[in-house]
Structure formats: structure tokens, C-alpha cells
């Protein structure tokens, strides 16, 4: 049973490719509402999966996921000028997700997986990385 689940999670049949994601991002830059909504629908599962992984690893609380997804989308839209269409789109989105996670200042500890240390706030995270 787990095998079928794993295969369905990895299925690329319904997943947009890099070229399609780049085209949607170009629409977002042009402020096309329909393409913005399509990009939101395409990227939401990736962001949720990233933050759910952080929950499972004990780095954040489950209740923080929705807020972090919203913050990541805000950063994605604000980061349009720095978007480089020559780079893999999903890698760019995951970099935004990681930066959003580290920039989420609060009293709870955030774990920087790349640095391998627990930090108390985003200032400490930025000093470590």
C-alpha cells in the first residue's frame, strides 16, 4: 500500500515543468491575474511539502505552516525583480521558503538545517549562515 502512495506522490504527470512554471512567472511579472492564480495553485503543494517536512523534523509547529506558506508567497511576489529564468524554478521557490523560515522571527527556536544548529531568532540565524 505504501508503494502505491509513494508512486502517486512522485508522479510528474500533473506537475508543471520548468518551462511552464517560467511562463507562469512571466505572467505574474506582467501582473496577469489568471497566471498568478495558476502559479499559486502549482507552487502551493511544493511549499506545503517543504514546511510539512520542517514540522516532521520538529523544526516548526504544525500551526505555523499556513502562515509560512503565505509569507513565502509574499516573498515570491516581492522577489520578482530578482527572479532569474535561467535557474530551476523549484530551486528558487525552495530558497524563498527556506529564507522565509529563517526570517520568521519569534520566540520559538528555528533550526537551520544547513548550519546544523538551533537558533533563537532570525538575527542569530543570519549570523550562523
Provide the pLDDT for residue 12. Answer: 53
Could you tell me the domains of the chain?
16-96 (1.10.1740)
Provide the pLDDT for residue 106. Answer: 52
* HEC per residue, the chain: CHHHHHHHHHCCCCCCCHHHHHHHHHHHHCCCHHHHHHHHHHHHHHHHHHHHHHHHCCCCCHHHHHHHHHHHHHHHHHCHHHCCCCCCHHHHHHHHHHHHHHHCCCCCCEEECCCCEEECCHHHHHHHC
Residues of the chain with pLDDT under 70: 1-13, 105-129
Amino acid at each position: 500500500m505504501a508503494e502505491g502512495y509513494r508512486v502517486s506522490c512522485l508522479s510528474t504527470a500533473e506537475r508543471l515543468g520548468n518551462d511552464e512554471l517560467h511562463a507562469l512567472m512571466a505572467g505574474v511579472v506582467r501582473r496577469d491575474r489568471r497566471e498568478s492564480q495558476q502559479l499559486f495553485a502549482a507552487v502551493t503543494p511544493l511549499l506545503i511539502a517543504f514546511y510539512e517536512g520542517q514540522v516532521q523534523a520538529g523544526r516548526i509547529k504544525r500551526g505555523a505552516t499556513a502562515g509560512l506558506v503565505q509569507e513565502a508567497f509574499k516573498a515570491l511576489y516581492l522577489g520578482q525583480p530578482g527572479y532569474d529564468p535561467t535557474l530551476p524554478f523549484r530551486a528558487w521557490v525552495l530558497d524563498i521558503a527556506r529564507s522565509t523560515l529563517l526570517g520568521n522571527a519569534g520566540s520559538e527556536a528555528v533550526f537551520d538545517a544547513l548550519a546544523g544548529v538551533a537558533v533563537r531568532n532570525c538575527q542569530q540565524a543570519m549570523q550562523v549562515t
